[in-house]
Structure 1
Amino acid sequence: MSIRKISAALIGGIMLLPITVSAQEVSQQRIITSLDNAGKVAPQIDVMLLKQQAAQNPSGSAAGLPDWSKLAQLSQLVVELNFVNNSVAMEPESYRTLGLIADALHHPNLARYSFLIVGHTSSTGDAKHNLQLSEDRANAIKLALSTTFAIKPGRLFAVGAGQEYPIDATDPKSAVNRRVQLFNLGLLKL
């Protein structure tokens, strides 16, 4: 279990190369620092449009689509949460990381922001199935954060990207490509 910070190199116009942070280095402060975009102007993201575009193109590349490319401009964090194969059930070792994320989202620096949870899969299986699985996993994380950890559901949005943005493009079937990404969407709209 690890959290990966994002550096400046682009992959496919949206994904940024992760810097691996070991599980021992995962902390609430690291999460806050990665996701806090205070003072930055975040582009407007239409989550429903992202979902529509992904659904219309489940086996093609969404990287060139203007709405998906806007995500690269947001404060973000790649989180390795391990799921049971072909399931939305999280492996027990991932609960600590999810708890750290929840604690960070309650922190005053992040409490005024809303967040997009993007689910990703490896390329094992059918692209259309992977798109649905990635969205189901993002929704499972949203549900866990809002119910178990009392994050206001109105602060959280979920979408699946399927197998579109592998971290390890040389091995798209690698388990490292199954992950969740959090994007800071900016100030919470009341």
Structure 2
Amino acid sequence: MKKTRIAALAAVLAFAGATLPASAQTALSENQILQSLQSAARVAPPNLSAALIANAVQEHIKNNPGMPITWTPLQLLDGLAQINVQIQFALNSDIIRPESYATIGSIADALHHPILAGYKFVVTGNTDTTGDRMKNLELSQRRANAVMNALVTVFNVDPARLEAVGLGQENLQDVQNPTDPINRRVQLINVGKYLPGK
């Protein structure tokens, strides 16, 4: 069962920052999934949290108020160990479509793996630039919450290891094509060691 869910996840994951078209997801092995969540170009800043990331999003909006703008990835997240995954939701909703639960189960399998058991993660929701910017931010938060809640309630991931934050359209995967569906994704970001009770 675990191998099946990991294989399902491998089919829909792509490394963060890649500019692959939506139809060309990178297939990853179980080892690559685990490696991408534990290896990083840089270590997460101390005490990196959903609240700090949310503050960075607000700064990004403040510093880029107009449309069109040149989107740049949030510097805070650049180079951290993370994965991008396509989770399907009902239209303009935070209701996860049934076909995506296998993918979320595969993420849970990875989080339960001994290699990752000692780490905390932030689940981020992302949109493309279609629609209202602030509504996209709110919707992305609700979707990040929904994925985190599924990981906790359905797949028994310790809630103390997870936080959720919506990034809206502020952290595009493909900045050259801001309306591309590839930008509508969920990220799982390794934010450092999990210290119980802290």
Matches for 1:148-163 after TM superposition, within 5 Å: 148-163=154-169
- Secondary structure of 2:192's counterpart equals strand
Name the % identity.
Answer: 40
Q: 1:142 to 1:135 in 2, by over 3 A?
A: same
Q: 1:78 to 1:54 in 2, by over 3 A?
A: same
Q: 1:3 to 1:115 in 2, by over 3 A?
A: same
Equivalent residue in structure 1 for 2:125, among 113, 119, 124: 119
1:189 aligns with 2:195: yes
Q: 1:27 to 1:103 in 2, by over 3 A?
A: farther
Q: Partner of 2:13 in structure 1?
A: 3
Contact 2:72 2:175 (C-alpha < 8 Å) held by counterparts: no
Q: Partner of 2:57 in structure 1?
A: 54
Unaligned runs of 5+ in 1: 7-15
Matches for 1:37-186 after TM superposition, within 5 Å: 37=39, 41-44=43-46, 45-55=48-58, 58=61, 61=64, 68-186=74-192
Contact 2:56 2:76 (C-alpha < 8 Å) held by counterparts: no
Contact 2:89 2:97 (C-alpha < 8 Å) held by counterparts: yes
- The offset of 1:75, in angstroms, is 0.6
User: Residues of 2 paired with 1:79 and 1:104: CA distance?
Assistant: 13
Q: Partner of 1:33 in structure 2?
A: 35
- The offset of 1:134, in angstroms, is 0.7
- The offset of 1:99, in angstroms, is 0.9
User: Residues of 2 paired with 1:169 and 1:57: CA distance?
Assistant: 14
- Secondary structure of 1:73's counterpart equals coil
Unaligned runs of 5+ in 2: 1-10, 66-70
- Secondary structure of 1:151's counterpart equals coil
Quick one: which amino acid aligns to residue 42 of structure 1? A
- Secondary structure of 1:171's counterpart equals coil
TM-score (norm 1): 0.80
Contact 1:4 1:18 (C-alpha < 8 Å) held by counterparts: no
User: Residues of 2 paired with 1:84 and 1:26: CA distance?
Assistant: 26
The total of aligned residue pairs comes to 176
Contact 2:144 2:165 (C-alpha < 8 Å) held by counterparts: yes
Q: Partner of 1:10 in structure 2?
A: none
TM-score (norm 2): 0.77
